[in-house]
Amino acid sequence: MKRPHIENVHFWNYSQDDLEFTIKDCKEAIAAYPENPKCIHGPGNYADQINDAHTVLRFKKMKREKVLNNIFKNRKQTS
């Protein structure tokens, strides 16, 4: 399974808690000051960070599910 391209490549090294905190923090920053250009413009903007964090979380979840499915499939075949 190939990882999708994201702007914030360092997110791949973040834990689930770190990614969830990043999403929460960026949403709060946008809500507090929506006129801030960093909300949606330029590299590393809050909207991109939210999207990238969700992408990484989803990818890691899918990868975990695939590994678990393979484990259960192998157990059934050997039983």
Give domain status of residue 41, yes or no: yes
Give domain status of residue 71, yes or no: yes
Give domain status of residue 28, yes or no: yes
Look at 33 and 44; give whichever has higher pLDDT. 33
Residues 6 or more apart in contact with residue 42 via CB below 8 angstroms: none
* Domain with 46 in it: 14-78
Greatest mean pLDDT among 6-10, 13-17, 71-75: 13-17
Give domain status of residue 19, yes or no: yes
Give domain status of residue 50, yes or no: yes
pTM equals 0.83
Mean pLDDT over residues 24-32, rounded? 97
d(CA 10, CA 26): 16
The pLDDT confidence band at residue 14, using thresholds 50, 70 and 90, is very high
Q: How many domains does the chain have?
A: 1
Give domain status of residue 2, yes or no: no
